[in-house]
Structure 1
Amino acid sequence: MLNRRTFQLVLPVALLSVVLGISGCSKEEPVDAQTSATQSGQDLLDQIRTKGKIVIATEGTWSPWTFHDQSGKLTGYDIEVGRLIAQRLGVEPQFVEGKWDGLLAGISAGRYDIMINGVDMTPEREKTYRFTEPYAYNRTVVIVSDQNTEIKSMQDLKGKQTANTISSTYAEIAEKYGAKVDGVDDLNQTFELLLSGRIDATLNAEVVYYDYKKVHPQAAVKIAAIADETTSVGIPLKKEGTEKLQAELNKILNDLRASGELSKLSTQFFGTDISKK
């Protein structure tokens, strides 16, 4: 899955609060979403249509997947996909922002209906969550200081210090190759650690690296290695009572792919089409 961040200007707190209120976003747990975990005998799809909105968990700090632009508007590939999904369901989207390690737990607890945040579909996660079909595909890269000559492959991560969001796919991959992983809150913090020399490397999506370099062309970082495998990105749902919702989301994603809307959004935010393998 993917790890995370925005490189936009930070608005004053008061102004940002106003903007978030206008754009239908919240950093608080949605009260009515909490009740979905206790309702029984009704698929989550029916609950969503009854309440007239779908509660979508996202970070809001991982450009270009999910971030705030310079005006404070929440946008990004995942956000716009979420808006299209809500439109086709005939409901309003409510985006609730939070830290990565709490979002998946919120899906299991019923605090959120779905999570759209570049979530990699790993075997471990598929044991706990029901996933839609993939709506994006991702390649993992190792990012280092441009002065680093020690890391040239995934195997070179053994014994090195890395940093990534806690419980992210990238942290798991780094640990698999023998790295020691520091947990961080977001991508900005990760790059601060890397540029200050406090870590040797970080792992992230290839498209996230290029987005960062587009915003920070003078940043002294480079890609040192690319993982062989391509990961699939899907929308996680809680296991119980989501069969109808999963089927409907798959239909919507297939329609968006067939119409070219996924490709258009991908090109808009990533400069390339990651909606196709």
Structure 2
Amino acid sequence: MTAGSTRRTTAAHSRLAAVGAIAVAGALILTGCGDQTKDKDKSSGSSSAASAPLADKLPASIRDKGVIKVGSDIAYAPVEFKDNSGKVVGLDPDIAAALGKQLGVTFQFENGTFDALLTGIRSNRYDIAMSAMTDNKSRQDGVDPATGKKVGEGVDFVDYLTAGVSIYTRKGDTEGITSWSDLCGKKIALERGTVSNDLAKAEAKKCPSGKKLTIEAFDDDQQAQTRLRSGGADAASSDFPVAAYAVKTSGGGKDFEIVGDQVEAAPYGIAVGKSSTQLRDALQAAMNAIIKNGEYEKILQKWGAEDGAVKESAINGGK
């Protein structure tokens, strides 16, 4: 989920394969359930530090604990979500598990609301945040995109994928919506703190008098989907992979359809505190290792994410 204000450039090529290519077996769309920050799931195993090739790159404190605490909004299928057994699964957990093999640690996913994840890093609740988070200058600099004011020290990002933003509607009931400019006079449901939210706010300022764009922002994407499904909104917006997954799976593919092209293509990044430079560099080294050994490509293929692949992990590559 692309929060902050990375105004991604329009690009139909920018992310995952088409809706039909989201190959996820036995997946489910979870219903919205509010803030679940107390839920914890150890969802990505690792080899022991002794046999892990990059273990010595980690800070000693993390290497000794053997755990990296990950803040994540675990209701964003197919990037991260819980399966029928309650296990955390998805693209991010699989990548984290691969990184764990390189670093000799376990990535422990802890569920939280998306707009509070960076605060969780600042308060040392999490070591990192990995939650389909867009790497952008606002987050890097700790600036509120709505006001332009400094709200924190910011974070660094270890980039690992590229994604765009999509609008979707109830199937067969598009209300004539094909782009963001068609939303004036309509109501859109989305997740709070995301680029979808930023784009909607920006579009609302352009709407003429008498054609207000109403924005309903929720704690998680599943709540926004539920609102649209029930007829409480005309459209919803999220990152393309999530929108495509919802279209493919919700109601057996009968609930939603994507309208228009995805926009604002930008990198997903693992967020790390500014002072955690050794951890940041270790994560980048591990990411580049799994890109080189082919494990990264296999994970992306599993989740239909090949079109979002990067050739090399960058630090703070977002604009």
TM over 0.5: yes
Aligned-residue sequence identity (percent) comes to: 26
State the secondary structure of the residue aligned to 2:139: helix
Report if the CA contact (8 A) 1:64-1:270 is conserved.
Answer: no
Q: 1:100 aligns with which of 114, 117, 127?
A: 114
CA distance in 2, matches of 1:52, 1:271: 29
CA distance in 2, matches of 1:148, 1:93: 41
CA distance in 2, matches of 1:94, 1:77: 15
Query: 2:295 aligns to what?
Result: 261
Report the CA distance between 1:249 and its aligned residue: 1.1
Query: 1:219 aligns to what?
Result: 254
Are positions 1:168 and 2:194 aligned together? yes
* Stretches of 4+ aligned residues off by more than 6 angstroms: none
Write the mapping of 1:50-199 to structure 2, written as runs, cut at 5 A: 50-128=64-142, 129-145=154-170, 146-178=172-204, 179-199=213-233
State the secondary structure of the residue aligned to 1:60: coil
Report if the CA contact (8 A) 1:136-1:234 is conserved.
Answer: yes
Structure 2, unpaired ranges of 5+: 4-26, 32-38, 44-56, 143-153, 205-212, 312-319
Q: 2:240 aligns with which of 206, 209, 234?
A: 206
Relative distance call for 1:190 and 1:228 in structure 2 (3 A) is closer
CA distance in 2, matches of 1:182, 1:148: 18
Count of matched residue positions in the alignment of Structure 1 and Structure 2: 247
Report if the CA contact (8 A) 2:240-2:262 is conserved.
Answer: no
Report if the CA contact (8 A) 2:91-2:299 is conserved.
Answer: yes
* Deviates most, 249-258 or 178-187: 178-187
CA distance in 1, matches of 2:214, 2:124: 33
State the secondary structure of the residue aligned to 2:86: coil
Query: 2:16 aligns to what?
Result: none
Report the CA distance between 1:8 and its aligned residue: 4.8
TM-score (norm 1): 0.80
Relative distance call for 1:52 and 1:58 in structure 2 (3 A) is same
Report if the CA contact (8 A) 1:263-1:274 is conserved.
Answer: no
* Deviates most, 230-239 or 80-89: 80-89
Are positions 1:246 and 2:280 aligned together? yes
Higher relative CO (Cα under 8 Å, sequence separation at least 6) belongs to 2
Report the CA distance between 1:9 and its aligned residue: 6.8
Per-residue CA deviation, residues 51-99 of structure 1 (Å, 9 max, x unaligned), is: 2211111122111111111222211110111122222221222221112
Query: 2:42 aligns to what?
Result: 24
* Deviates most, 242-251 or 159-168: 159-168
Per-residue CA deviation, residues 1-55 of structure 1 (Å, 9 max, x unaligned), is: 249xx83578xxxxxxxxx88x636xxxxxxxxxxxxxxxxx9833211322111
TM-score (norm 2): 0.70
* Deviates most, 125-134 or 113-122: 125-134
Q: 1:7 aligns with which of 24, 28, 35?
A: 28
Per-residue CA deviation, residues 244-269 of structure 1 (Å, 9 max, x unaligned), is: 11111111111111222222111112
CA distance in 2, matches of 1:263, 1:2: 22
Report if the CA contact (8 A) 1:152-1:224 is conserved.
Answer: yes
CA distance in 2, matches of 1:132, 1:228: 21
Report the CA distance between 1:112 and its aligned residue: 0.3
Query: 2:315 aligns to what?
Result: none
2:139 maps to amino acid: R
1:110 maps to amino acid: N
